[in-house]
C-alpha cells in the first residue's frame, strides 16, 4: 500500500522520471555506439582539431579522435563505475548500518568511528593515494569503482543506523522477539523494510558522489586509464584548449553535468515521493 502511494507521489514529480530517462538515453546511446563501432573512441582519423560538423558532431581532438564517440564511451564508463559503486556501497552500508543500529555496543562504536574517519579525512586523499598504486591493473574502471565504494559506504551506514535505531523500538519488533524470531530474521523481515525510504534516497546520493569522485580522479589523471576513457579525462584534456577549441572542453562537460543533474533529479524525486511532508515546508 505504501509503495503504490509512493509510486503515485513519484509520478507527481516528473523530475525523477526525466532524470531516469536521461540516464537511460545516455547509456543506451553509449551501448549502441559500442556495438556498432567497438573501437570507435580509439580510432584516429585524418581530421585534426576539427570544429563540430555533420561528420563529427562534437568535433575532433588534436590527433583526430572523434569526440562524440569518446564522450559516449566516457559516459558509459562513468555510469558503469557509478552503478557498481551504488550497489556495493549500498549493500555494505546497509548491512553495517543495520548491524550497528540493531546490535549497538562495540559493533556500533567501531562502525561509527569508521564513519567519522571518512568525514574527517578529505576522501580525495585516500583515493589519490590508493589509485596511484592500483590503477595500473587491466580493468582500471573496476578498480576505481571498488576504491570509491570503500569510501562511499559510511554515508549509507549512518543513515541506515539512524533508521534502524528508531524502528527497533517499535512494538512489532518486540512482538517478533517475543515470538522467538532470530535477530537476522527480525532485521531482514521486520526492520529493514521500514527503512527502505532512507536507503533508496541515500543510494541516489551515493550514485551522485560516485560520478563526481570518479570523474575527479580521472581528471587528475589517476582514474580510468588509457585505452579506456572517462568524461573526467576528456575534460582534463579539453580544459587547456578551452580558449581555442572550446568544443573539447564544453561537450564532455555538458554531458557530464547533464548526467549529474539527472542523478540529482532522481534523488530529489525519490525524496519528495517518500517523504511528502518535506515538500510543504
Partner 1 sequence: MARFLIRRLLHSVPVVVVSSFLVFAMVAASGDPLAELRGRPGVSDATVALRSEQLELHKPVHERYLGWAGSAVRGDLGTSVGGEPVAPMVLRHLGVTLRMVLLAVVVGIAGALVVGVGTALRPRSVLDRAGSVLSMVLLATPVFWLAGLLKDVGIRFNELVGRTVVFTAGERSPATGASVASVVADRLGHLVLPTLTLALVAMAGWSRFQRAATIEVLNAPYVQSARARGLPERRVVGVHALRNALIPLTAVVATDFAAILGGAVLVEVVFAWQGMGRLLLDAVARSDVHVATGWLLVTASVVVVLNLLADLVYAALDPRIRNP
Per CB under 8 A, the segment of 94-102, 112-120, 164-172, 193-201 that binds partner 1 is: 112-120
Q: Does 2 bind partner 1 (CB under 8 A)?
A: no
Cα–Cα distance list, 81 to 14, 130, 166, 269 (Å)? 26, 16, 33, 23
Q: Pick one of 17, 83, 128, 146: the residue that binds partner 1 (CB under 8 A).
A: 128
Q: Pick one of 219, 224, 271, 273: the residue that binds partner 1 (CB under 8 A).
A: 219
Angle subtended by helix axes 67-103 and 14-36, to nearest 10: 130
Which is nearer to partner 1, 176 or 213 (by Cβ)?
Answer: 213
Q: Does 85 bind partner 1 (CB under 8 A)?
A: no
Please, which of residues 246-275 interact with partner 1 by CB under 8 A?
246, 249, 253, 256-257, 260-261, 263-265, 268
Q: Does 210 bind partner 1 (CB under 8 A)?
A: no
Cα–Cα distance list, 223 to 89, 143, 261 (Å)? 18, 9, 22
Q: Does 88 bind partner 1 (CB under 8 A)?
A: no
CB-CB contact of 144 with 219 (8 Å):
no
CA 58 to CA 6: how far, in whole Å? 40
CA 265 to CA 19: how far, in whole Å? 5
Question: Which sign, positive or negative, has the C-alpha torsion 192, 197, 200, 201?
Answer: negative
The CA-CA-CA angle for residues 102, 108, 110, to 5°, reads 150
Please, which of residues 31-60 interact with partner 1 by CB under 8 A?
none
CB-CB contact of 57 with 33 (8 Å):
no
Q: Does 23 bind partner 1 (CB under 8 A)?
A: no
Beta bridge partners of 66: 60
Which is nearer to partner 1, 15 or 93 (by Cβ)?
Answer: 15
Beta bridge partners of 44: 65
Q: Does 116 bind partner 1 (CB under 8 A)?
A: yes
Per CB under 8 A, the segment of 23-31, 61-69, 129-137, 140-148 that binds partner 1 is: 129-137
- The contact pattern for partner 1, residues 164-203, with x = CB under 8 A and - = no contact, is ----------------------------------------
What grid cell was written down for 135? 590503477
Binding site for partner 1 (CB under 8 A): 113, 116-117, 119-126, 128-130, 132-133, 208, 211-212, 215-216, 219-220, 232, 235-236, 239, 242-243, 246, 249, 253, 256-257, 260-261, 263-265, 268, 281
Amino acid at each position: 500500500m505504501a509503495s503504490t502511494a509512493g509510486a503515485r507521489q513519484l509520478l507527481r514529480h516528473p523530475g525523477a522520471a526525466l532524470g531516469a530517462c536521461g540516464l537511460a538515453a545516455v547509456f543506451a546511446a553509449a551501448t549502441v555506439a559500442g556495438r556498432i563501432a567497438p573501437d570507435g573512441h580509439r580510432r584516429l582519423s585524418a581530421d585534426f582539431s576539427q570544429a563540430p560538423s555533420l561528420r563529427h558532431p562534437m568535433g575532433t581532438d588534436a590527433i583526430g579522435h572523434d569526440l562524440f564517440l569518446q564522450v559516449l564511451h566516457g559516459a558509459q564508463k562513468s555510469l558503469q563505475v557509478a552503478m557498481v559503486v551504488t550497489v556495493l556501497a549500498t549493500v555494505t552500508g546497509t548491512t553495517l548500518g543495520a548491524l550497528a543500529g540493531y546490535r549497538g555496543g562495540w559493533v556500533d562504536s567501531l562502525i561509527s568511528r569508521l564513519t567519522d574517519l571518512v568525514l574527517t579525512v578529505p576522501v580525495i586523499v585516500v583515493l589519490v593515494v590508493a589509485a596511484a598504486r592500483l590503477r595500473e591493473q587491466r580493468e582500471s574502471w573496476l578498480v576505481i569503482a571498488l576504491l570509491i565504494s570503500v569510501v562511499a559506504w559510511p554515508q549509507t551506514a549512518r543513515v541506515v543506523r539512524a533508521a534502524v535505531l528508531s524502528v527497533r523500538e517499535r512494538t512489532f519488533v518486540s512482538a517478533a522477539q517475543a515470538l522467538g524470531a532470530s535477530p537476522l530474521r527480525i532485521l531482514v523481515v521486520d526492520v529493514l523494510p521500514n527503512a527502505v525510504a532512507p536507503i533508496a534516497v541515500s543510494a541516489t546520493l551515493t550514485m551522485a558522489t560516485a560520478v563526481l569522485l570518479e570523474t575527479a580522479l580521472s581528471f587528475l589523471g589517476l582514474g580510468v586509464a588509457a585505452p579506456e576513457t572517462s568524461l573526467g579525462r576528456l575534460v582534463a584534456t579539453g580544459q587547456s584548449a578551452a580558449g581555442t577549441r572550446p568544443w573539447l572542453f564544453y561537450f564532455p562537460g555538458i554531458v557530464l553535468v547533464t548526467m549529474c543533474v539527472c542523478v540529482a533529479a532522481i534523488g530529489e524525486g525519490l525524496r519528495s515521493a517518500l517523504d511528502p511532508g518535506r515538500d510543504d515546508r
